Chain A
Amino acid sequence: MVVASLPGMTALSQAPDRGGPAQPLLEVTGLVKHFPIHGGLLGRQVATVRAVDGVDLTILKGETLGIVGESGCGKSTTARLLMRLLDPDAGRMVFDGETVGGSDQAGGIALRDYRRQVQMVFQDSYASLNPRLTIEETIAFAPKVHGVPAQEARERAHDLLAAVGLAPGQFARRYPHELSGGQRQRINIARALALQPRLVILDEPVSALDKSVEAQVLNLLVDLKEKFGLTYAFISHDLNVVQYISDRVLVMYLGKVAEHGPVGEIYEHPAHPYTRALLASRPSMDPGQRRTEPPLTGDPPNPVNPPSGCRFRTRCTMAEAVCAEREPAPATLMNGHEAACHAAMAGSGHSAAPRIAA
């Protein structure tokens, strides 16, 4: 793995690879986050939003994992959990072989060190920048906190500005409100790279941008990944963008993983009915191929009271009795492609399930 470093950087460089190429960079099992809803006169807890409800995921070194889903599916909560901006209610996170948030006795990686190696870019480019800091100060802020001398941090900020395609002489002293949305998102990306992270979590980084600017930022992300030896978790609702940028894709529905696998498998042979519907919902650019029937009816249900059994069954055309009774376990199809659907699981009791080989 190439450990890239900017010229003149000594105090802070990308942390070395510890576990070797086969060790996933981040392995998450059983991630759970519930939000209580308080109400009534006494402010008692009246309900629970099951935002993330048992998510397993693996991010391999050097890959881009795309996470897709509709609003309320828990993809942004997952991003914040991965960044540890939220504390999970349950679940285990292993970063390059070390348990995240471990103590001295148990071993593992402290949160402070974890956060230096994992950085995040948010959707709202303006809200995520401090309006009172110049661009240069914003980018140099985190390295200074981590002990880089001020002069060196500023030089690093200039190098990063150049790396994201903004002339340092022109932009370093400007404030966020003086920039366009695309330029601000470049600043956010530069800031995320200032600590030389290994994993960058991108939460809808291009969703608020115009199409011509979106393409510029996507190209930039591809270049930076190569240049700095990065691994991406790319969260988006845009299936086309996810297909373009990801190596593997994870489809979420109501706080659960519906299906995950290599990008080609997911887009060519989707196994979960939700993935199929999501793919079929993309507007076609060809007016000759307009659809007449929507693939799904209704909205995604509220994550406060998710349906029993399979959470997709209320909108699924293939739903049978078994779907309401039991929650589907992930069925392994091939090449690391898994779908949590009774119809894909041999012996599940669903009429469309494959036969168990005798």
Chain B
Amino acid sequence: MSAALKPEAPAPLVRARDLTVRFVSRDSTVHAVNGVDLDLAQGEVLCLLGESGSGKSVTLRALMKLLPKRAQVGGTIEVAGRDVQAMSERQLADFRGGDVAMIFQEPMTALDPVFTIGRQIAEAVQRHEGASRAAADARALELLELVHIPSAKRRLAAYPHELSGGLRQRAMIAVALACKPKVLLADEPTTALDATVQIQVLLLLRELQEKLGMGVIFVTHDLGVAGEIADRVAVMYAGRVVEEGPVGPFMAGPLHPYPQGLLGATVHAGMRGKRLTTIPGAPPSLERLPEGCAFAPRCNLAEPACTAAMPEARHAGPGRMARCIKVPGM
């Protein structure tokens, strides 16, 4: 299943340049994404890390052209070598599920409650590969086994509400993987799960990603989850990527003051009795973004130059980037 999927192509699987998303209504314009550059290589897991309102989920949806019509999307998006912005609805229908698939936080709303799990997987196979019903049903069974659903044969005939939260999440992953997508987009797929189930799903996703050689973009707000699954991390703040780099050096010492603050504010073992360091204030309103660095009003290192203009991306160390004038550039 995996061998055919690994062409030695140097071109990135996902390539977004200067991606912008605006939601315009009569009385306000929300600048959700403001110039994001993203690259995802074959077989790589990129974590988009950020708090609510940072634009991480909107970015993810833009990659699949899933945003509502009123969203104004700018910049270029190439996924698996195809220009997403230029695709027609008909092309998108082939593209979604075939080349790219998405998994969501809440499987109960992502799965159709009136069809069995088996039917929902087989439908995708029939639609995209033109397989016969029998062949598609056989694939559905194979996929349920792939995501380690116990007594898979019996579960094929189960409706989503008959499964537990963890099994439902596995079933949704099986639907997403039905047509061997090259890119898997995951929007906080483990956030709603219990601790002991979350780690199972994370390990499953990692195993599947290695087995199938997929590229994965994984949106999360949880640094621990990123530490468990990511190869590379991109931290978003107010619709921009403020820092990007390999997960190891990033976790050991972020460059940008925002992820530094985030890491300090995340409670972990051995902090008992110590006062938590916090980031003062709250993220800026996306309707009125400040000139210059959006984090400057909350940053204790800020100086006049920070609010004058948006800091350029500075490269520090292999594969590391930060948008902060305090980072020594190379």
Interface string of A292-324 (1 = CB under 8 A from B): 111111111010000000000000000000000
Query: Which residues of B181-216 have CB atoms within 8 Å of chain A's CB atoms?
Result: 194-200, 202-203
Q: Which residue on A lies nearest to B233, using beta carbons?
A: A287
> For residue B165, which residues in chain A have a CB less than 8 angstroms away from its CB?
71, 299
A212→B261 contact, CB < 8 A: yes
> For residue B52, which residues in chain A have a CB less than 8 angstroms away from its CB?
181, 210
Q: In the bound complex, what is the Cα–Cα distance between A200 and B222 (angstroms)?
A: 28
B267→A294 contact, CB < 8 A: no
> For residue A285, which residues in chain B have a CB less than 8 angstroms away from its CB?
223-224, 227, 251, 266, 268
Instruction: Flag whether A239 is at the interface (Cβ < 8 A).
Output: yes
> For residue B228, which residues in chain A have a CB less than 8 angstroms away from its CB?
283-284, 287, 290-291
Q: Which residue of B196, B202, B224, B248 is within 8 Å of A288 (Cβ)? A: B248
Instruction: Flag whether B262 is at the interface (Cβ < 8 A).
Output: yes
Q: In the bound complex, what is the Cα–Cα distance between A243 and B198 (angstroms)?
A: 19
A283→B222 contact, CB < 8 A: yes
Among A85-93, A96-104, A213-221, the stretch that binds chain B is A213-221
Query: Which residues of B63-113 have CB atoms within 8 Å of chain A's CB atoms?
Result: none
Instruction: Flag whether B276 is at the interface (Cβ < 8 A).
Output: yes
**Which of A181, A238, A284 has the most chain B CB atoms closer than 10 A to its own CB?**
A284
Q: Which residue on B lies nearest to A216, using beta carbons?
A: B278
Interface string of B132-170 (1 = CB under 8 A from A): 000000000000000000100000000000001111000
Q: In the bound complex, what is the Cα–Cα distance between A282 and B224 (angstroms)?
A: 8
Query: Which residues of A190-235 have CB atoms within 8 Å of chain B's CB atoms?
Result: 210-216, 218-219, 222
Q: Which residue on A lies nearest to B250, using beta carbons?
A: A287
> For residue A222, which residues in chain B have a CB less than 8 angstroms away from its CB?
275
> For residue B202, which residues in chain A have a CB less than 8 angstroms away from its CB?
283
Q: In the bound complex, what is the Cα–Cα distance between A212 and B203 (angstroms)?
A: 27
B267→A214 contact, CB < 8 A: yes
A219→B275 contact, CB < 8 A: yes
Known: A244-B272, A281-B195. A297 touches B227 (CB 8 A): no
How near does chain B come to A289, taking the closest CB pair, in angstroms? 9
> For residue B197, which residues in chain A have a CB less than 8 angstroms away from its CB?
70, 299
Q: In the bound complex, what is the Cα–Cα distance between A290 and B229 (angstroms)?
A: 8
B271→A244 contact, CB < 8 A: yes
Q: Which residue of B195, B203, B262, B279 is within 8 Å of A278 (Cβ)? A: B195
Instruction: Flag whether A241 is at the interface (Cβ < 8 A).
Output: yes
Instruction: Flag whether A263 is at the interface (Cβ < 8 A).
Output: yes
Interface string of B8-22 (1 = CB under 8 A from A): 000000000000000
- How many residues belonging to B are interface residues under a CB distance threshold of 8 Å? 43
Interface string of B26-70 (1 = CB under 8 A from A): 000000000000000000000000011000000000000000000
Instruction: Flag whether A240 is at the interface (Cβ < 8 A).
Output: yes
> For residue A244, which residues in chain B have a CB less than 8 angstroms away from its CB?
267, 271-272, 276
Q: Which residue on A lies nearest to B246, using beta carbons?
A: A287
Q: In the bound complex, what is the Cα–Cα distance between A212 and B258 (angstroms)?
A: 10
B203→A294 contact, CB < 8 A: yes
Q: Which residue on B lies nearest to A302, using beta carbons?
A: B164
A219→B199 contact, CB < 8 A: no
Known: A180-B282, A240-B267. A284 touches B196 (CB 8 A): no
A243→B51 contact, CB < 8 A: no
> For residue B326, which residues in chain A have a CB less than 8 angstroms away from its CB?
none
**Which of B167, B198, B264, B282 has the most chain A CB atoms closer than 10 A to its own CB?**
B282
Instruction: Flag whether A350 is at the interface (Cβ < 8 A).
Output: no
Q: Which residue on A lies nearest to B280, using beta carbons?
A: A216
Q: In the bound complex, what is the Cα–Cα distance between A239 and B269 (angstroms)?
A: 9
Q: In the bound complex, what is the Cα–Cα distance between A62 and B265 (angstroms)?
A: 25
Q: In the bound complex, what is the Cα–Cα distance between A166 and B248 (angstroms)?
A: 38
Q: In the bound complex, what is the Cα–Cα distance between A243 and B199 (angstroms)?
A: 19
Known: A182-B282, A283-B225, A287-B227. A237 touches B194 (CB 8 A): yes
How near does chain A come to B266, taking the closest CB pair, in angstroms? 5
Instruction: Flag whether B277 is at the interface (Cβ < 8 A).
Output: yes
Q: In the bound complex, what is the Cα–Cα distance between A213 and B222 (angstroms)?
A: 13
A218→B195 contact, CB < 8 A: no
Q: In the bound complex, what is the Cα–Cα distance between A283 and B224 (angstroms)?
A: 5
Instruction: Flag whether A325 is at the interface (Cβ < 8 A).
Output: no
Instruction: Flag whether B247 is at the interface (Cβ < 8 A).
Output: yes
Q: In the bound complex, what is the Cα–Cα distance between A293 and B202 (angstroms)?
A: 11
Q: Which residue of B51, B196, B198, B272 is within 8 Å of A211 (Cβ)? A: B51
> For residue B266, which residues in chain A have a CB less than 8 angstroms away from its CB?
211, 215, 240, 285
> For residue A291, which residues in chain B have a CB less than 8 angstroms away from its CB?
199, 203, 228
B282→A296 contact, CB < 8 A: no
Q: In the bound complex, what is the Cα–Cα distance between A297 and B195 (angstroms)?
A: 12
Q: Which residue of A71, A288, A295 is within 8 Å of B194 (Cβ)? A: A71
> For residue A94, which residues in chain B have a CB less than 8 angstroms away from its CB?
none
Instruction: Flag whether A81 is at the interface (Cβ < 8 A).
Output: no
> For residue A284, which residues in chain B have a CB less than 8 angstroms away from its CB?
224, 227-228
Could you list 24 examples of A-B contacts with CB < 8 Å?
A: A70-B196, A182-B282, A211-B51, A211-B262, A212-B261, A213-B282, A215-B264, A215-B278, A216-B278, A219-B276, A237-B194, A238-B267, A243-B272, A244-B267, A267-B269, A283-B202, A284-B224, A285-B224, A285-B251, A287-B248, A288-B248, A293-B203, A297-B200, A299-B167
B positions within 8 Å CB-CB of A: 51-52, 150, 164-167, 194-200, 202-203, 221-225, 227-228, 230, 247-248, 251, 261-262, 264-269, 271-272, 275-279, 282
Q: What 4 A-B pairs have minimum CB-CB distances, sorted nearest first?
A: A283-B224, A215-B265, A70-B194, A210-B51
